[in-house]
Amino acid sequence: IFQWNNETINIWTHLIGFFYFTWRQYAINVYLLPPANANAKDHIIATVCLFGLQICMLLSTFYHIFGSTNAERRRMLLRFDIFGISAGLLSVYLIGIYTAFLCFE
């Protein structure tokens, strides 16, 4: 993590992204939604979306840190990385669907 190599930027950008989305999850659920009188569904949707993004960043960090040890481990971690990307995309898709149909309740 602390040596400069071809994975350094990938590791640190994904690790910083993980901490950013963790901080945003706390800030949204504690400071943003309560003053707006948000209901439980709003909290759940925001939490699920940000959790999917956290999973994406964390699994990608693990892939870039430990993926260069051997070919078998690289393939396994690549599957986790792709799963994390899928989780991030799905969570953003779900919050988009929730927001799009919010006015139809």
Please choose, from the candidates 92, 104, 8, 105, the residue with its C-alpha nearest in 3D space to the C-alpha of residue 45.
92
Alpha-carbon distances, residue 16 vs 20, 32, 39, 79 (angstroms) = 6, 22, 30, 22
Q: Is 14 annotated as a binding residue?
A: no
Interacting residues of 12 by C-beta distance below 8 A, sequence separation 6+: 1
- Spatial separation of the C-alpha atoms in residues 67 and 90, rounded to whole Å: 24
**Residue list for the binding site:** 64
**Residue list for the binding site for Zn(2+):** 64
